[in-house]
Amino acid sequence: MTAEAPALAQASGVARRVSRRPRLRFTLLNRRDKVVLTLMVAIPTLIQLVLVWIPTVLSVLLSFVRWNGLAFSDLRPAGIANYEYIFSTYPSFWPALQHNLLWLVFLAVIATPIGLLLAILLDQNIRGSRIYQSIFFSPVMLSLVLIGVIWQLFYSQNNGLLNFLLGTSGTPQAVDWFGNPNLNIWAALIAATWRHAGYVMILYLAGLKGVDPSLREAASLDGANFFQTFFRVVFPVMRPINIVIVVITIIESLRAFDIVYIINGSKNGLELISALVIQFLVGEAQVIGIGSALAVVLLVVSLVPIVIYLSRIFKKEA
Amino acid sequence: MAVLHGQSARTRLKRPHYGTHLFLIAMAILWLIPFVWALFTALRPKADTDKYGYFSFGGAFNLDNFIAAWNQGGFATYFGNSVIITVPTVILTLLLASMMAFAVSRFTWKFNVTLLIMFTAGNLLPPQVLAAPLFEMFKHFNLPYSVSDSGNLLNTYVAVIAVDTAFQIGFCTFVLSNYMKALPQDLTEAAFVDGAGVWRQYWAIIMPLTRPAFAALGTLEVIWIYNDFFWPLLLIQSGNRLPITTAIHNLQGQFLSNYNLLAAGAIITIIPTLIIYIVLQKQFVAGLTLGASKG
Residue B102: per-residue pLDDT = 94
Say yes or no to pLDDT of B291 above 50: no
- Partner-chain contact A56 B234, CB within 8 Å: no
- Partner-chain contact A56 B129, CB within 8 Å: yes
Q: Can you tell me the mean pLDDT for A118-143?
A: 91
**Beta-bridge mates of residue B107:** A24
Distance from CA of A101 to the nearest CA of B (A): 15
Q: Give the CATH number for residue B287.
A: 1.10.3720.10
Q: Which residues of A touch B122 (CB under 8 A)?
A: 48, 52-53
Residue B106: per-residue pLDDT = 86
| Helices B259-289, A5-12: crossing angle, 10 deg rounding | 20
Distance from CA of B127 to the nearest CA of A (A): 8
In this structure, are strands A76-77 and A65-66 parallel, antiparallel, or unpaired? Answer: antiparallel
Q: Give the one of B41, B202, B273 whose C-beta lies nearest to A141's C-beta.
A: B273
Region of residue B17 (phi > 0: left; psi between -120 and 50: alpha; otherwise: beta): left
Contact B138, B152 (CB under 8 A): yes
Do B207 and B156 reside in the same domain of the chain? yes
* Number of domains present in the structure of chain B: 2
Residue B290: per-residue pLDDT = 66
Do B114 and B151 reside in the same domain of the chain? yes
Q: Which of B40, B67, B94 is the last residue of a domain?
A: B67
Say yes or no to pLDDT of A263 above 80: yes
Q: Which of B15, B33, B67 is the last residue of a domain?
A: B67
Do B290 and B165 reside in the same domain of the chain? yes
Do B251 and B200 reside in the same domain of the chain? yes
Question: Cα(B50)–Cα(B60) distance, rounded to whole angstroms?
Answer: 12
Q: Which of B67, B92, B110 is the last residue of a domain?
A: B67
Say yes or no to pLDDT of A230 above 80: yes
Mutate to test the interface with A, among B108, B124, B206 (most CBs of A within 10 A): B124
Do B58 and B87 reside in the same domain of the chain? no
Mutate to test the interface with B, among A8, A162, A243, A313 (most CBs of B within 10 A): A8
Mutate to test the interface with B, among A100, A104, A149, A294 (most CBs of B within 10 A): A149
Residue B135: per-residue pLDDT = 92
Residue A284: per-residue pLDDT = 59
Do B24 and B41 reside in the same domain of the chain? yes
- Partner-chain contact A145 B228, CB within 8 Å: no
CB pairs under 8 A between A and B: 378
Distance from CA of A245 to the nearest CA of B (A): 12
What are the Cα distances from residue A286, in Å, to A68, A245, A280, B32? Answer: 5, 37, 5, 42
Do B38 and B133 reside in the same domain of the chain? no
What are the Cα distances from residue B244, in Å, to A121, A207, B172, B205, B270? Answer: 37, 34, 24, 38, 10
Residue A317: per-residue pLDDT = 57
- Partner-chain contact B189 A24, CB within 8 Å: yes
Residue in chain B lying closest to A23 (CA): B107
Question: Cα(A203)–Cα(B2) distance, rounded to whole angstroms?
Answer: 20
Residue that wins the pLDDT comparison between A211 and B86: B86
- Identify the DSSP state of A27: G
In this structure, are strands A76-77 and B107-108 parallel, antiparallel, or unpaired? Answer: unpaired
Region of residue A170 (phi > 0: left; psi between -120 and 50: alpha; otherwise: beta): left
Residue type, B159: A
Q: Give the one of A41, A277, A313 whose C-beta lies nearest to B128's C-beta.
A: A277
Residue B11: per-residue pLDDT = 43
Distance from CA of B146 to the nearest CA of A (A): 22
Residue A11: per-residue pLDDT = 44
Contact A169, A160 (CB under 8 A): yes
Average pLDDT, chain B: 87
Contact A61, A237 (CB under 8 A): no
Q: Which residues of A touch B295 (CB under 8 A)?
A: 11, 14, 207, 210, 240-241
Residue in chain B lying closest to A209 (CA): B293
Distance from CA of A153 to the nearest CA of B (A): 7
Residues A143-190: tens digit of each pLDDT = 999 999 999 999 988 888 999 899 888 788 888 899 899 999 999 999
Residue in chain B lying closest to A239 (CA): B295
Contact A259, A188 (CB under 8 A): yes
Do B106 and B27 reside in the same domain of the chain? no
Tell me the pTM. Answer: 0.88
Q: Give the one of B27, B109, B285 whose C-beta lies nearest to A118's C-beta.
A: B27
Do B85 and B48 reside in the same domain of the chain? no
Do B78 and B61 reside in the same domain of the chain? no
Do B290 and B218 reside in the same domain of the chain? yes
Residue A119: per-residue pLDDT = 94
Say yes or no to pLDDT of A2 above 70: no
Q: Is A77 exposed, middle or buried (0-12, 13-18, 19+ CB in 10 A)?
A: exposed
Average pLDDT, chain A: 86
Task: Tell me what ipTM this predicted complex has.
Answer: 0.87
Say yes or no to pLDDT of A1 above 60: no
As a residue count, chain A comes to 318
* Sequence-separated (6 or more) residues with CB below 8 Å from residue A177: A155, A156, A157, A160, A162, A183, A184, A187
Q: Which domain holds residue B267?
A: 74-294
CA A299 from chain centre, in angstroms, equals 14
Do B22 and B132 reside in the same domain of the chain? no
Distance from CA of A271 to the nearest CA of B (A): 14
Q: Is A237 exposed, middle or buried (0-12, 13-18, 19+ CB in 10 A)?
A: middle
**How would DSSP label each residue in A171-238?**
STT---TTT-TTTHHHHHHHHHHHHHHHHHHHHHHHHHHTS-HHHHHHHHHTT--HHHIIIIIIHHHT
Alpha helix (H) ranges present in chain A?
5-12, 31-48, 54-62, 81-84, 93-106, 112-122, 129-137, 144-155, 161-166, 184-209, 213-221, 226-228, 235-237, 239-255, 258-264, 273-279, 288-313
- Partner-chain contact A25 B31, CB within 8 Å: no
CA B129 from chain centre, in angstroms, equals 20
